[in-house]
């Protein structure tokens, strides 16, 4: 069985590691990949890291990207355009709470659109 994958994008590697730890206490099977910090692990975001994370989290059910601040969203959008896949989406939701809800929904075997809808309704 495959799940909607989740990519956590933050300016800080520590932020996404912490969020993943919190989610993993509850949700074990949903793919969660991290794209925190720049290529040098400094504060910032990296398209390359996001692309790698998308590839790892990818299943035919698609991937959801969660981000923290504005410039992370721009990099996320570029990574999606470059992937040339149409089942990768970004949602506007608080990174921690939103990712938690997304993981729960995905774990219930929801489709990408259903997970997105749950997040749009919830925040």
Contact 45, 9 (CB under 8 A): yes
Return the one option of ligand ADP, another protein, none that residue 38 interacts with (CB less than 5 to 8 A, by type).
Answer: another protein
What is d(CA 13, CA 20) in angstroms, rounded to the nearest whole number? 11
* Gap between the terminal Cα atoms of the chain: 28
Contact 107, 30 (CB under 8 A): yes
Pick 12 or 87: Cβ nearer ligand ADP = 12
Chain residue whose CB lies nearest ligand ADP = 71
Nearest approach, Cβ of residue 56 and another protein (Å): 17
11 carries an active-site annotation: yes
When binding is defined by CB under 8 A, the residue of 22, 26, 28, 43 that contacts another protein is: 43
For CA atoms 110, 81, 10, 68, the dihedral sign is negative
If you search the block for the tokens 């729960």, which residue do you land on?
104
Return the one option of another protein, ligand ADP, none that residue 92 interacts with (CB less than 5 to 8 A, by type).
Answer: none
- Phi, psi for 6 (deg, rounded to 5): -130, 130
Q: Which two tokens stand for residue 102?
A: 């997304």
Instruction: Tell me, residue by residue from 67 to 86, as one string, x for binding to ligand ADP by CB under 6 A and - for no binding.
Output: ---xx---------------
The binding site for another protein (CB under 8 A) comprises 38-39, 42-48, 69-71, 74-75, 77-78
Residues annotated catalytic, as ranges: 11
């Amino acid at each position: 069985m495959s799940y909607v994958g989740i990519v956590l994008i933050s300016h800080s590697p520590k932020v996404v590691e912490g969020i993943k730890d919190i989610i993993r206490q509850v949700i074990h099977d949903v793919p969660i990949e991290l794209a925190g910090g720049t290529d040098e692990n400094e504060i910032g975001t990296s398209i390359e890291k996001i692309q790698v994370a998308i590839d790892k989290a990818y299943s035919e059910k698609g991937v959801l990207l969660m981000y923290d601040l504005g410039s992370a969203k721009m990099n996320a959008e570029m990574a999606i355009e470059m992937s040339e896949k149409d089942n990768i989406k970004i949602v506007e939701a608080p990174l921690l709470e939103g990712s938690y809800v997304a993981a729960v929904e995905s774990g219930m075997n929801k489709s990408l659109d259903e997970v997105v809808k749950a997040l749009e309704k919830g925040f």
